[in-house]
């Protein structure tokens, strides 16, 4: 097991904290968003890639406010006095967040206005304002407005006869002040920018686009005939979007979720108001009063509101401005499954398979596994957990429906509390039910986040289990941009474990012990903690790759292992509350984060075990919610070749000096200096291609 370079201190002073033992999770999340924003600032990236990262940053902030900020506001309103692990009260955290977000948004606006807009125009993709359109384009806009936009607009007046309208979550709006020329009275009206229409209206002369709200603003006299348009300003509202407080003990969880979704559409608390800086004090006061906000909830954006919508520009046919599209390769042992080697199950009986997405194809591995099971006459049952997928058109959902139509026992555990996908999951869950799939909505009080599929097959008079355990969702769309790992296996012990896990999920069971599987919330926390504690010796070795690391108990175990002599490398994409490199506390711990073309999403756990390394993969991050309040599945990888492959993934990731960032003892992140020029995403592509062309052994080569 590769050790890597860790500087050994000459002495080990006793830890005397000048700073908190833990880094604040909310500020750590904003640190991640800052790393995403830095990608948008990077002039070495192609232009539309920079635009994509700017859009992702905006979408990330939306998510942060509707969940994390909303939760802190609830604590303040409820007068919750409990401080975060780093010692900050909810109000102190909100103040710190405000300061950080202001700085980040200023950078975002500066990048957009001063760098990206001019660069786009130079590349003949111009985002224009009203004063920049030609007469020909203006005539075109009049036609487009009259035929396509005007019919779906609904101006809403605010006066004694018209109460202030409901402003929907993440909606873009125009605040319009109009004056009656006869009565000389000024009135406020709100015009919602319809989300069903394109965000940018294409103009005639080349790749020129006008924001939809600007097109509407240009035609406001058509919406308020006979009135004088005094002023108009865009604004945007963010509401509490978290459903975690739904009563999970409700007798009908599906009905409870639907009721809460309807309630939140009308009554969710507003947590952020984004406005044009030129908005008059009168209009701003009206909005803050009616939306029940404080001045600290208002953010002035001197540029385009909702920059997340810029992602639509990345679909333009401009390959010269984008990264070259990656076409995943088929894992070597799965080639020819549909033709020369039609029996995928025979391949799995010969040994487990590990796929590394998106470098290894999701379609020819995970989708092929489920599709093969749906059509195989000897398959008796398919059981699967579904957290997020691409809906009824998903190849996986279609395969489950076909299997049910062919008389197989099909069970789908659908997590209808998957944030942001609640309504979509309810919709395709009903489509599955209509096809006679047994749909289960999970355990009371727990989200089911595990990524597990079980196939039960009749073979020569006995029952054989085949299974998939992964780190990513069963979603072919995200599988093209999320980095994940999948294990396909016919291991009998794992098959028995997964069978018992599904019995727990679909029936009544107090199952708490498994042969190989680590399952939250029963034995996963204890299992990971014991594995870390076993490495708490001189020469001990731990490598963990996760999305988030904020659990205090796990962090304390890592601190203790470091103090006992273990060398620890952590690859943490987003939030990390552990403070590395602190003498006497964590000097043998290094934390890195990789931000690049693909979203790092896999969870891999490696332990030195005295020279006999052990490896695990699964769905769980190291957070209290994952370890204590979700159903998660983490599986050991026992095949020696697959262990080498996992170690290769970790080695390449740790050697990255192009996309990688280091976390310092003071909690600040810094880019890793480029020496070798190793971009892990590009290296994984090279390894996949080498494997596809038969070079190396299953793609196992040096980093």
Per-residue pLDDT tens for 33-51?
999 999 999 999 999 999 9
At residue 298, the 3 state secondary structure works out as strand
φ and ψ at 299, to 5 degrees? -120, 125
Closest CA to 190 of 165, 226, 170, 218: 165
pLDDT value, residue 500: 94
- 518-544 mean pLDDT: 97
Rounded Cα distance between 64 and 105, Å, is: 13
Q: Is 460 left (phi over 0), alpha (psi -120 to 50) or beta?
A: left
The yes-or-no verdict on residue 675 having pLDDT over 80 is yes
For residue 160, what are its two tokens?
């004694």
Q: Is the pLDDT of residue 136 over 60?
A: yes
pLDDT tens digits for 64-96?
A: 999 999 999 999 998 877 899 999 999 999 999
Give all strands (DSSP E) within 516-583, no chain letters. 518-520, 541-546, 567-572
pLDDT at site 507 = 78
In terms of Cβ atoms closer than 10 Å to its own Cβ (0-12, 13-18, 19+), residue 7 is exposed
Distance (Å, whole) CA 476 – CA 473:
8
Distance CA 136, CA 70 (A): 46
Beta strands 462-470; 482-489: pairing state: antiparallel
Contact status, residue 271 vs residue 70, Cβ threshold 8 Å: yes
Q: pTM score, two decimals?
A: 0.91
Mean per-residue pLDDT, 507-529 = 90
Q: How many CB atoms lie within 10 A of CB 285?
A: 12
- pLDDT at residue 415, as a whole number: 79
pLDDT at 13 over 60: no
Active site residues: 449
- Smallest CA-to-CA distance from 504 within 672, 644, 383 is with 383
Tell the burial category of 611 from Cβ atoms under 10 Å away from its Cβ (0-12, 13-18, 19+): exposed
**Residues 6 or more apart from 550 whose CB is under 8 A from it?**
25, 28, 575, 576, 577, 622, 623, 624
Tens of pLDDT, residue by residue over 339-393, are: 544 689 999 999 999 999 999 999 999 999 999 999 999 999 999 998 877 666 7
Quote the CA–CA distance of 668 and 19 in Å, as a whole number: 13
Least confident of 155-159, 218-222, 447-451: 155-159
Q: What is the pLDDT of residue 315?
A: 93
Q: What percent of the chain has pLDDT over 70?
A: 88
- What is the arithmetic mean of pLDDT over 167-174? 94
**Res 414: pLDDT:** 85
Report the C-alpha gap between 573 and 546 in whole angstroms.
7
pLDDT at 267: 63
Q: What is the mean pLDDT of residues 663-691?
A: 96
Task: Please give the average per-residue pLDDT across 475-499, as a whole number.
Answer: 96
Instruction: Report the mean per-residue pLDDT for the chain.
Output: 89
3-state percent helix, strand, coil for the chain, nearest multiple of 5? 40, 20, 40
* Domains (range + CATH), the chain: 25-321 (3.30.1840.10), 332-506 (3.30.870.10), 518-692 (3.30.870.10)
Token output for 297: 């909830």
| Residue 430: per-residue pLDDT | 79
Query: What is the tens place of the pLDDT at every residue in 405-421?
Result: 999 999 999 876 645 55
**Per-residue pLDDT tens digits for 14-35:** 444 556 899 999 999 999 999 9
Instruction: Assess whether pLDDT exceeds 80 at residue 247.
Output: no
Q: Residue 477 and residue 603: Cα distance in Å, rounded?
A: 19
What is the mean predicted confidence (pLDDT) over 599-603? 98
State the burial class of residue 392 (Cβ atoms within 10 Å of its Cβ: 0-12, 13-18, 19+): middle
Tell me what the mean pLDDT of segment 189-214 comes to.
91
Write down the pLDDT at residue 106: 97
Q: How far apart are CA 145 and CA 153, in angstroms?
A: 10
Q: What's the rounded Cα separation, in Å, for the pair 624 and 334? A: 37
Which contacts (CB < 8 Å, 24+ apart) does range 309-312 have?
309/55, 309/199, 309/200, 310/51, 310/52, 310/54, 310/55, 310/58, 311/51, 311/52, 311/55, 311/56, 311/59, 312/198, 312/199, 312/200
Q: Given the structure tokens 């089911």, which residue do they identify?
A: 448
pLDDT class for 640, splitting at 50, 70, 90?
very high
Q: How far is CA 135 from CA 139, 142, 147, 212, in A?
A: 6, 11, 19, 18
Exposed e or buried b per residue across 496-534, where buried means at least 16 C-beta atoms within 10 angstroms of its C-beta: ebbbbbbebbeeeeeeeebeebbbbbbbbbebbbebbbb
pLDDT score recorded for residue 79: 87
Q: What is the pLDDT of residues 419-445, one digit of tens each?
A: 555 566 676 777 788 889 998 886 777
Q: Which strand (E) or helix (H) includes residue 127?
A: strand 125-127
pLDDT of residue 649 exceeding 60: yes
């Amino acid at each position: 097991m590769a050790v890597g370079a860790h500087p050994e201190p000459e002495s080990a002073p006793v830890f005397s904290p000048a700073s908190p033992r833990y880094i604040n999770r909310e500020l750590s999340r904003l640190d991640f968003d800052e790393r995403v924003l830095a990608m948008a600032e990077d002039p070495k990236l192609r232009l539309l890639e920079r635009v994509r990262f700017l859009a992702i940053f905006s979408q990330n902030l939306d998510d942060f406010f509707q969940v994390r900020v909303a939760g802190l506001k609830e604590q303040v309103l409820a007068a919750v006095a409990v401080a975060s692990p780093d010692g900050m009260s909810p109000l102190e955290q909100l103040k710190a967040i405000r300061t950080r977000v202001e700085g980040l948004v200023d950078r975002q606006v500066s990048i957009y206005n001063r760098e990206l807009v001019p660069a786009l125009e130079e590349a003949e993709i111009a985002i224009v304002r009203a004063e920049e359109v030609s007469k020909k384009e203006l005539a075109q806009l009049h036609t487009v407005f009259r035929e396509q936009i005007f019919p779906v607009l609904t101006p809403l007046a605010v006066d004694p006869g018209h109460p202030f309208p409901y402003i929907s979550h993440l909606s873009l709006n125009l605040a319009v002040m109009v004056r009656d020329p006869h009565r000389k009275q000024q009135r406020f009206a709100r015009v919602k920018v319809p989300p069903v229409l394109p965000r940018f209206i294409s103009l005639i002369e080349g790749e020129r686009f006008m924001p939809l709200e600007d097109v509407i603003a240009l035609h406001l006299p058509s919406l308020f005939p006979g009135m004088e348009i005094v002023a108009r300003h865009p604004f945007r509202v963010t509401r509490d979007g978290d459903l975690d407080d739904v009563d999970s003990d409700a007798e009908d969880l599906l009905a409870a979720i639907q009721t809460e979704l309807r309630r939140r559409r009308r009554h969710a608390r507003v947590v952020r108001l984004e406005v044009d800086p030129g908005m008059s004090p009168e209009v701003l006061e009206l909005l803050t009063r009616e939306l029940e906000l404080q001045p600290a909830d208002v953010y002035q954006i001197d540029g385009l509101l909702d920059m997340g919508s810029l992602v639509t520009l990345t679909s333009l046919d401009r390959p010269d401005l984008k990264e070259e599209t990656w076409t995943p390769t088929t894992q070597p042992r799965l080639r020819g499954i549909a033709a020369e080697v039609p029996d995928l199950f025979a391949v799995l009986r010969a040994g487990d398979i590990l796929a590394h997405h998106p470098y290894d194809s999701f379609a020819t591995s995970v989708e092929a596994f489920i599709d093969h099971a749906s059509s195989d006459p000897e398959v008796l049952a398919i059981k699967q957990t579904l957290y997020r997928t691409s809906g009824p058109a998903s190849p996986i959902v279609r395969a489950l429906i076909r299997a049910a139509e062919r008389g197989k026992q099909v069970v789908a555990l659908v997590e209808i509390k998957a944030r942001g996908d609640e309504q979509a999951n309810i919709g395709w869950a009903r489509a599955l039910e209509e096809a006679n799939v047994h749909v289960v909505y999970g355990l009371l009080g727990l989200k089911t986040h595990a990524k597990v599929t079980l196939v039960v097959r009749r073979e020569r008079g006995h029952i054989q289990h085949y299974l998939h355990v992964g780190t990513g969702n069963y979603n072919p769309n995200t599988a093209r941009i999320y980095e994940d790992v999948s294990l396909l296996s016919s291991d009998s012990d794992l098959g028995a474990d997964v069978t018992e896990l599904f019995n727990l999920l679909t029936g009544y069971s107090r199952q708490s012990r498994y042969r190989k599987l680590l399952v939250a919330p029963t034995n996963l926390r204890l299992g990971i903690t014991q594995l870390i504690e076993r490495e708490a010796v001189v020469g001990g070795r731990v490598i963990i790759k996760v999305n988030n690391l904020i659990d205090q108990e796990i962090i304390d175990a890592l601190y203790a292992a470091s103090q006992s002599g273990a060398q620890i490398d952590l690859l943490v994409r987003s939030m990390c509350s552990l403070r590395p490199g602190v003498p006497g506390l964590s000097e043998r711990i290094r934390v890195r984060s990789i931000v690049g073309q693909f979203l790092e999403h896999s969870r891999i756990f490696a332990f030195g075990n005295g020279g006999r390394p052990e490896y695990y993969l699964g769905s769980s991050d190291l957070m209290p919610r994952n370890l204590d309040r979700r159903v998660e599945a983490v599986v050991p990888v026992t095949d020696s070749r697959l262990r080498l492959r996992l170690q290769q993934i970790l080695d390449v990731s740790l050697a990255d000096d192009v996309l990688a960032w280091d976390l310092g003892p003071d909690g600040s992140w810094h880019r890793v200096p480029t020496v070798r020029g190793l971009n892990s995403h590009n290296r994984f592509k090279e390894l996949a291609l080498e494997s596809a062309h038969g070079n190396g052994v299953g793609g196992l080569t040096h980093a």
